[in-house]
A and B are shown apart, each in its own frame.
Chain A
């Protein structure tokens, strides 16, 4: 397994989303890609799912973005790969990364910490060309002010 290639894929996914290059992002993903945002609510003592899409669902979400009224402040995703666990037999790697998301206000450019959490990723090793098969964004942050349309 090429750990560097996998780490770069995680970082690449951040940069592409930061740049709103959604096609580039989906090109990193396997056909069976599944994207989920989860959070635990201590208030109701429940694990919650905040978004759950397959590749088509993500494609639809991205396509619809320009039709919505949205906050246009850009996000900066910052990931640090903490753990890469390889399963050669399955030809896949499970990767845990720390995630911080910053939001930079369009008017004046002040940056605020928007969210923290983790990426729990599964990569298909795919004979040297790894692809993202599953991403769970496990959020610690649950308050987003007036919100945002583009997932992390």
Chain B
């Protein structure tokens, strides 16, 4: 039976935790608040330590809260982060995505900074500023930085935030034994998609969409144990999905998976979503890391990384790269489908489109096709935003039935 305009607007027959209002994906004001209340409050992955192995190595990062950062390894090998903004006339300090700089010198008027963020030279300082302003007044804005959970470099623009350890809690416990050895990034690419960042995180938080992926549908879903995998929610909006064994050699084009991963059962799979937009995805021989950088409510950069072990032999690395590319590479079979999915959502639920309810209503004892992972995310989102995901403008009179 179809619906008329009135019926389309009616609240779904679910508890209010089980659906959201599509306007949370398109509203400029909500996006502005998300930057302030979520992205500029939470710990965010900027890069991996293997990308800046040597003293003075730096990496620039477009922080999802809005400000561009520099992540730099000092002479003391400590990694620090700063706003990539010159305290003189606001120029970008480092233009390249990566490099090595003993001194960070602004191209504009040649003010110079060390890797601890101290200003070490102001050109013609005395002549222009006399005693009114000096190098000590021109330090860079430092941003809290910690390395952890697989050697990722995490930043937090909120000086008063809890520690990274507190933020993660026990959410990554399942993966910690698999990340004891040093990791190394071997794959990096970005995609820009016209969609909301939450929709990408949702896709990473539900496996029901295995129906979209041919091989997951015809092989993965038929594996014993597939429906036993469970979602677990953790404080701060993180969620994990437990391991299962995938029989890769059951279908054509996939060789025997020989390389494996330390402390992961052969063919195992662990996926952990970290609020608000990061996903650890460890499958068989590769760790994939997705990080989201929203550019607006309907525009998103996703950074994709593939990681192996630093100690890999060339043969082992080649196998990991092969495993990665077949499924998750830019020409891999699943990535394009996952991106098409969220592209389609962004297109359907666009800024000008009629409001829609997005249903997260599946309950299967929190097993793999349960939509509890997404519900867990939106509970945290609502808490941080002070807005209800199902009623972001407080316009619905939700009855006691909810």
Spell out A's residues near B (CB within 8 Å). 37, 39, 41-46, 48-52, 57, 60-61, 64, 67-71, 142-149, 151
A40 to chain B, nearest CB (A): 11
Stretch in B168-176, B259-267, B332-340 touching the partner:
B332-340
B356 to chain A, nearest CB (A): 21
Q: Name the residue of chain B whose CB is nearest to the CB of A143.
A: B190
B285 to chain A, nearest CB (A): 15
Complex interface: chain B residues within 8 A of A67 (CB): 214
Report B253-306 residues with CB < 8 Å from chain A CB.
253
Stretch in B158-166, B181-189, B234-242, B360-368 touching the partner:
B181-189
A25-B318 Cα distance, complex, nearest whole Å? 26
Interface centre among B212, B214, B252, B331 (most CB of A within 10 A): B331
B322 within 8 A of A: yes
Does B193 contact A52, Cβ atoms closer than 8 Å? Answer: no
Q: Name the residue of chain A whose CB is nearest to the CB of B217.
A: A67
A150-B99 Cα distance, complex, nearest whole Å? 34
Q: Name the residue of chain A whose CB is nearest to the CB of B333.
A: A68
Known contacts A69-B337, A146-B193, A147-B339; is-contact A43 B51 (Cβ 8 Å): yes
Complex interface: chain A residues within 8 A of B151 (CB): none
Task: Give the interface SS of chain A, mostly helix, strand, loop or mixed.
Answer: loop
Known contacts A41-B188, A67-B214, A145-B192; is-contact A52 B321 (Cβ 8 Å): yes
Complex interface: chain B residues within 8 A of A143 (CB): 189-192
- B335 partner, pick from A46, A48, A147, beta carbons under 8 A: A147
Complex interface: chain A residues within 8 A of B59 (CB): 43
Interface centre among B51, B188, B342 (most CB of A within 10 A): B188
Complex interface: chain B residues within 8 A of A50 (CB): 325, 329-331
Report B108-155 residues with CB < 8 Å from chain A CB.
none
B343 within 8 A of A: yes
10 A/B residue pairs, CB under 8 Å, sorted by A: A44-B185, A49-B325, A50-B330, A52-B322, A57-B253, A70-B337, A71-B340, A148-B331, A149-B336, A151-B331
A41 to chain B, nearest CB (A): 5
Does A142 contact B190, Cβ atoms closer than 8 Å? Answer: yes
Interface centre among B214, B252, B322, B336 (most CB of A within 10 A): B336
Does B325 contact A52, Cβ atoms closer than 8 Å? Answer: yes
Complex interface: chain B residues within 8 A of A144 (CB): 191, 330
A65 to chain B, nearest CB (A): 9
- A60 partner, pick from B189, B253, B335, B336, beta carbons under 8 A: B253
Interface centre among B185, B186, B330 (most CB of A within 10 A): B330
Known contacts A43-B59, A50-B329; is-contact A68 B188 (Cβ 8 Å): no
B76 within 8 A of A: no
A35 to chain B, nearest CB (A): 11
A148-B321 Cα distance, complex, nearest whole Å? 19
Known contacts A41-B189, A43-B59, A146-B193; is-contact A70 B336 (Cβ 8 Å): yes
Q: Name the residue of chain A whose CB is nearest to the CB of B334.
A: A68
Complex interface: chain B residues within 8 A of A64 (CB): 214, 252-253, 333
B249 within 8 A of A: no
Complex interface: chain B residues within 8 A of A60 (CB): 252-253
Complex interface: chain B residues within 8 A of A39 (CB): 189
A31-B50 Cα distance, complex, nearest whole Å? 39
Does A68 contact B214, Cβ atoms closer than 8 Å? Answer: yes
Complex interface: chain A residues within 8 A of B318 (CB): 49
A61-B97 Cα distance, complex, nearest whole Å? 34
A60-B97 Cα distance, complex, nearest whole Å? 37
Q: Name the residue of chain A whose CB is nearest to the CB of B187.
A: A48
Q: Name the residue of chain A whose CB is nearest to the CB of B48.
A: A44
A45-B336 Cα distance, complex, nearest whole Å? 25
Given contacts A42-B96, A46-B186, A52-B322, 6 further A-B contacts (CB under 8 A): A60-B252, A68-B213, A70-B340, A143-B189, A144-B191, A151-B331
Does A69 contact B189, Cβ atoms closer than 8 Å? Answer: no
A146-B330 Cα distance, complex, nearest whole Å? 9
Q: Name the residue of chain B whose CB is nearest to the CB of A46.
A: B186
A121-B285 Cα distance, complex, nearest whole Å? 31
A123-B182 Cα distance, complex, nearest whole Å? 41
Complex interface: chain A residues within 8 A of B329 (CB): 50-51
A69-B342 Cα distance, complex, nearest whole Å? 13
- B98 partner, pick from A42, A57, A148, beta carbons under 8 A: A42
A49-B189 Cα distance, complex, nearest whole Å? 12
Q: Name the residue of chain B whose CB is nearest to the CB of A65.
A: B333
A146-B222 Cα distance, complex, nearest whole Å? 28
